[in-house]
């Protein structure tokens, strides 16, 4: 039960949107796609769903190619939200769920359950155009998961939501994972990816620049973050051997250092210079890795 | 196949339940009812009790009024001629005050022949004027002939209509009466086809464009293939059309048959609806369905290229132009069904449905010609369906400014497997 993306390339004429992408996404895990605009995330998802044909390569789910025979096993939340503005929530979800192979009598109880969970049971008979954007997104999310897909593809699921709704949706995603759904999602926001994913891939111009398990990626990145709060000036650390980046903060500095050993050199150097309030060695954040690999901040 | 039925029934039910459908159907039913009761309604507005137009006549010769009144009133029973005994100026004032519709001053000229001057507030009501002039002309001719010395018997013989019979030597050829009748039926059929194709073609394109612009399309085609989606839509809308048409025909038929005695011999005879040949009806249904499918496929394809639903009209233009040309050729063919342009265009797939049915109705075509045109039509539908499915698959994922033919190639490229 794994999703295998095997040497997949997609070209639009001269332009290569996805270049030799090679990924194995384990079952019942949450897999994050990171990347700037035009990095190839949506194109990859569309190929994965069979909406676009691959120029080269193969994508399989449980060893089978994904096409319209397997579409009942798959749930999809597109980046561009889309629902019929004139239909009621009930009609809308009924239609879309039927298209995913659900029976009419299964749909209503399931929909009620989800609306209750998202604390909007009163929307059952409302038209989509009467709902706020955030609430439309909840309905869209329900349409992607109501048929309990084995594989769930979420393209930017959290964009445009307020923090409370983001939490609600995250919880739903983690619950689905516990129930055995394999989830692939993309995001601009590093914090979401760090919280939800065990595995991830950073795409740049259609190529994966980093991929693997989150913990592994952080460990192999090597560089660490060091935070020091002290009562004396730390300016001299900017020139200290092994310090990659120096950033002054309110009562001290944030450093990025080449490896763990550098922190011990600094620790010794600081001995006897004065009062040290904080000396903390941290794992690099995903944002650091992203900036390093992609070369630009993204948020 | 299952998904086909889900989309098909969803399309049908949503359309039939929509306000637009209910309102247009109600309006159309009203129109049909009004048409069936046309004579009653017309009678109501120009009823017997309505006053006839009064025409004041000043006859300075004192000879003309009697026979003139008789001939005018028998030719046009909505006119009443009244002798006016006052002066001409008073007559004109009376017309201006709308006591009379018009004033005619008559006299004999030097050759003892009638002449007249017509006064009215405006001279746009040309039928009154023409009737008055025509009857006076007859009187003048009759008087001239009399003056020339012919006897009355001879005059009547001169006026008697000539005996001119038409006989078609080819036994299969349609009689003149059949021709007129066929013309009537075909006119109705052509107009019907024209309306339906434009109306429902537009409905399909609009529907596809709406799904695309509301971005629901991406979810739809991730659950069912674009080809399934396209054809389910085409046939769903077809069923909507069929429902509407059956309602109209049913109501129309019920109304007409309930008043058949009154209507026969007038309106129905003129359009030839009394007894329609069965084979023509069957062919009409075949060509109608095939024509609809052809144009609907084209409409769905064009609709898939639009990203904003406002642009649908612009992209449908080429299709509408095709339909209008087909209609115009068919209209021309009503008068000249054997002309070369009609024959040729009856084998061009986009024109076939309308032009071929015209030829079948007006001429006696060998079966192979009909068969060939049907075959060409079916093959073109399949080809267009295949191209349409490709364009559709790429088109529904394509967003941005649209409105040119370049989008076709772009859409096809987007749906291609290999570069």
pLDDT (tens digit per residue) in B8-44: 999 999 888 888 889 988 998 888 888 777 767 666 6
Query: Does residue A111 contact residue A124 with C-beta atoms inside 8 Å?
Result: yes
Contacts of B216 in chain A (CB under 8 A): 82-84
B217:A143 CB<8 A: no
A288 found inside a domain:
no
Q: What is the CATH number of the domain that holds A227?
A: 3.30.70
Q: Which domain does A279 fall in, by range? A: 223-283
A299 found inside a domain:
no
A68:B220 CB<8 A: no
Interface test with A, best of B218, B236, B309 (most A CBs within 10 A): B218
What pLDDT does A94 receive? 92
Closest Cα in chain B to A48: B222
Same-domain status, A16 and A160: yes
In sequence order, the 6+-apart residues with CB closer than 8 A to the CB of A261 are A242
What pLDDT does B388 receive? 82
ipTM of the complex: 0.78
B215:A84 CB<8 A: no
Q: What is the CATH number of the domain that holds A141?
A: 3.40.50.300
Closest Cα in chain B to A144: B219
Q: Is the pLDDT of residue A299 over 70?
A: no
Q: What is the H or E stretch that residue B73 is in?
A: helix B65-75
Same-domain status, A172 and A90: yes
Of the residues A168, A190, A218, which one is the last residue of a structural domain?
A: A218
Instruction: Report phi then psi at A56, rounded to 5.
Output: -140, 160
A290 found inside a domain:
no
pLDDT (tens digit per residue) in B94-119: 888 888 888 888 888 878 888 888 88
DSSP notation for A14-78: TEEEEEEEEEEE-TT-EEEEE--TTSSHHHHHHHHTTSS--SEEEEEETTEE-STTTGGGEEEE-
A298 found inside a domain:
no
Question: Based on the number of CB atoms within 10 Å of its own CB, is A228 exposed (0-12), middle (13-18) or buried (19 or more)?
Answer: buried
Same-domain status, A122 and A208: yes
What whole-number distance in Å separates Cα of residue A267 and Cα of residue A257? 13
In sequence order, the 6+-apart residues with CB closer than 8 A to the CB of B348 are none
How far lies B257's CA from each of A93, A160, B139, B268, B346, in Å?
47, 63, 45, 11, 35
Q: Is the pLDDT of residue A73 over 80?
A: yes
Domains of chain B (ranges; CATH) run 53-159 (3.40.190.10), 174-414 (no CATH)
pTM greater than the 0.80 cutoff: no
Same-domain status, A265 and A139: no
A274 found inside a domain:
yes
Two tokens at A108? 């209503």
B225 contact A CB<8A: yes
Same-domain status, A212 and A239: no
Q: Is the pLDDT of residue B263 over 70?
A: no
What whole-number distance in Å separates Cα of residue A196 and Cα of residue A171? 9
A189 found inside a domain:
yes
Same-domain status, A94 and A145: yes
For chain A, give the mean pLDDT: 85
Interface test with A, best of B222, B410, B414, B416 (most A CBs within 10 A): B222
| Domain count of the fold of chain A | 2
What whole-number distance in Å separates Cα of residue A271 and Cα of residue A260? 18
Same-domain status, A189 and A136: yes
């Amino acid at each position: 039960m794994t999703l295998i993306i095997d040497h997949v390339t997609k070209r639009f004429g001269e332009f290569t949107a996805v270049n030799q992408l090679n990924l194995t996404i384990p079952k019942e895990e949450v897999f994050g796609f990171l990347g700037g605009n035009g990095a190839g995330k949506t194109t990859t998802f569309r190929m994965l769903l069979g909406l676009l044909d691959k120029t080269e390569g193969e994508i399989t789910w449980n060893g089978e190619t994904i096409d319209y025979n397997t579409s009942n096993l798959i749930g999809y939340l597109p980046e561009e939200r889309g629902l019929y503005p004139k239909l009621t929530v009930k009609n809308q979800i009924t239609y879309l769920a039927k298209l995913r192979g659900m029976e009419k009598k299964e749909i209503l109880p399931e929909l009620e359950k989800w609306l209750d969970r998202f604390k909007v049971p009163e929307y059952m008979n409302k038209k989509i155009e009467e709902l706020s954007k955030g609430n439309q997104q909840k309905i869209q999310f329900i349409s992607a998961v109501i048929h309990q897909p084995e594989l769930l593809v979420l393209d930017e699921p959290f964009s445009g939501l307020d923090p409370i709704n983001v939490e609600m949706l995250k919880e739903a995603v983690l619950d689905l994972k516990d129930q055995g759904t394999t989830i692939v999602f993309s995001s601009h926001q590093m914090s979401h990816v760090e919280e939800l994913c065990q595995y991830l891939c950073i795409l740049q111009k259609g190529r994966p620049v980093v991929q693997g398990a989150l913990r592994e990626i952080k460990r192999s990145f090597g560089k660490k973050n060091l935070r020091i709060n002290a009562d004396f000036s730390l300016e001299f650390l900017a020139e200290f051997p092994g310090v990659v980046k120096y950033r002054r903060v309110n009562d001290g500095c944030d450093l990025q250092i080449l490896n763990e050993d550098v922190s011990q050199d600094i620790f010794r150097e600081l001995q006897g210079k004065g009062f040290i309030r904080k000396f903390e060695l941290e794992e690099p954040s995903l944002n650091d890795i992203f900036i390093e690999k992609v070369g630009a901040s993204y948020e | 196949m299952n998904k086909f039925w889900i989309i098909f029934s969803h399309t049908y039910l949503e359309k039939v339940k929509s306000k637009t459908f209910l309102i247009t159907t109600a309006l159309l039913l009203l129109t049909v009812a009004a048409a069936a009761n046309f004579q009653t309604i017309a009678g109501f507005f120009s009823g017997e009790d309505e006053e006839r137009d009064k025409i004041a006549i000043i006859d300075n010769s004192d000879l003309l009024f009697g026979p003139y009144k008789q001939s005018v009133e028998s030719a046009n029973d909505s006119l009443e001629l009244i002798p006016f005994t006052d002066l001409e100026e008073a007559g004109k004032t009376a017309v201006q005050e709308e006591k009379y519709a018009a004033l005619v001053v008559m006299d004999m000229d030097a050759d003892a022949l009638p002449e007249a001057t017509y006064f009215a507030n405006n001279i746009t009501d040309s039928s009154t004027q023409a009737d008055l002039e025509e009857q006076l002309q007859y009187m003048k001719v009759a008087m001239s002939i009399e003056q020339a010395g012919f006897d009355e018997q001879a005059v009547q013989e001169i006026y008697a209509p000539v005996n001119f019979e038409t006989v078609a030597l080819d036994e299969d050829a349609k009689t003149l009466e059949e021709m007129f009748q066929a013309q009537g039926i075909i006119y109705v059929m052509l107009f019907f086809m024209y309306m339906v194709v434009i109306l429902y073609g537009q409905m399909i394109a609009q529907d596809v464009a709406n799904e695309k612009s509301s971005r629901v399309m991406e979810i739809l085609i991730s659950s069912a293939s674009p080809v399934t989606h396209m054809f389910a839509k085409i046939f769903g809308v077809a069923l909507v059309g069929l429902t509407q048409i059956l309602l109209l025909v049913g109501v129309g038929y019920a109304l007409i048959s309930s008043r058949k005695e009154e209507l026969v011999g007038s309106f129905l005879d003129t359009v030839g609806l009394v007894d329609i040949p069965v084979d023509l009806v069957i062919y009409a249904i075949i060509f109608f369905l095939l024509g609809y499918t052809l144009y609907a496929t084209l409409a769905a394809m064009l609709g898939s290229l639009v990203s904003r639903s406002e642009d649908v009209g612009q992209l449908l233009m080429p299709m509408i132009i095709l339909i209008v040309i087909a209609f115009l050729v068919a209209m021309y063919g009503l008068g000249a069904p054997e002309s070369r342009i009609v024959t040729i265009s009856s084998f061009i797939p986009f024109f076939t449905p309308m032009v071929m049915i015209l030829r079948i109705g007006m001429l006696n075509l060998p079966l192979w010609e009909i068969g060939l045109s049907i075959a060409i039509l079916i093959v073109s539908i399949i080809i267009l369906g295949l191209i349409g499915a490709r364009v559709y698959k790429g088109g529904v994922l394509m967003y941005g400014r649209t409105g040119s033919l370049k989008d076709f190639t772009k859409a096809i490229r987007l749906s291609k497997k290999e570069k």
